[in-house]
Structure 1
Amino acid sequence: MEVIKVLAKRIIPCLDIRDGKVVKGTKFKDIKEIDNPVKLAKYYNDQGADELVFYDINASYEDREIIANIVKAVSEEIFIPFTVGGGIRSIDDFTKILRSGADKVSINSAAVKNPRLIKEASGKFGAQCVVLSIDAKRIDDRWSVFINGGRLDTKVDVISWAKKGVELGAGELVINSIDMDGVKKGYDTELIERLSNEVNVPIIASGGAGEKEDFYDVLNIGNGTGALAASVFHHKEIMIKDLKDYLYNKGISIRRV
Structure 2
Amino acid sequence: MRPRIIPILLLDSRKRLVKTRRFAEEVYIGDPFNVLRIFNEKEVDEICVLDINASREGRSPDVGFISELASECFMPLSYGGGIASVSDAAPIFAAGVEKVVLGRVSNRQDVIRTVVNEYGSQAVAACIDCRRVDDAWRVAIDRGEKVIERTPVEQAKLVEQAGVGEIIVQNIDRDGERCGYDESLIRQVSSAVDVPVVALGGAGELGHLVAGLKAGASAVASGSAFTFIGRLRAVLITYPNEDQSRQLIANSVVA
Length-normalised TM-score, structure 1 = 0.90
Does 1:94 find its partner at 2:89?
yes
Does 1:54 find its partner at 2:49?
yes
Q: CA RMSD in A?
A: 1.7
What amino acid is the match of 2:248?
Answer: L
Aligned to 1:185: 179
Aligned to 1:129: 123
Aligned to 2:208: 214
Q: Distance in 2 between matches of 1:252 and 1:80?
A: 25
Deviation at 1:167, TM superposition (A): 0.6
Match for residue 33 of structure 2 among 28, 38, 49: 38
| Contact 2:211/2:252 (<8 A) preserved | no
Deviation at 1:74, TM superposition (A): 1.7
Structure 2: give runs of 5+ residues left out of the alignment: 229-235
Q: Distance in 1 between matches of 2:102 and 2:95?
A: 16
SS in 2 for 1:24: strand
| Contact 2:61/2:81 (<8 A) preserved | yes
Aligned to 2:145: 151
Q: How does 1:52-91 map to 2 (within 5 A)?
A: 52-91=47-86
Write out the 4+ residue segments of structure 1 that deviate beyond 4 Å after TM superposition: none
Q: How does 1:217-228 map to 2 (within 5 A)?
A: 217-220=211-214, 222-228=215-221
| Contact 2:140/2:146 (<8 A) preserved | yes
Does 1:21 find its partner at 2:16?
yes
Identity %, equivalent residues: 31
| Contact 1:9/1:252 (<8 A) preserved | no
Aligned to 1:247: 248
Q: Distance in 1 between matches of 2:171 and 2:116?
A: 25
| Contact 1:211/1:238 (<8 A) preserved | no
Range 83-92 or range 37-46, more displaced: 37-46
Deviation at 1:150, TM superposition (A): 1.4
1:56-114 Cα distance to aligned partner (Å, 9 max, x none) = 000001001122222211211222211100110011011011112210001111222x3
Q: How does 1:110-129 map to 2 (within 5 A)?
A: 110-112=105-107, 114-129=108-123
SS in 1 for 2:56: coil
| Contact 2:23/2:144 (<8 A) preserved | yes
Q: Distance in 2 between matches of 1:250 and 1:51?
A: 21
Q: Distance in 2 between matches of 1:35 and 1:70?
A: 16
1:157-214 Cα distance to aligned partner (Å, 9 max, x none) = 1101110100110110011100110001001211111111111111111110122111
Aligned to 1:4: none
Aligned to 2:164: 170
Aligned to 2:225: 232
Change in Cα spacing, 1:237 to 1:209, as seen in structure 2 (3 Å) is farther
SS in 1 for 2:209: helix
1:37-70 Cα distance to aligned partner (Å, 9 max, x none) = 1211121122121100000000001001122222
Length-normalised TM-score, structure 2 = 0.91
Greater share of helix residues, 1 or 2? Answer: 2
Q: Distance in 2 between matches of 1:129 and 1:239?
A: 24
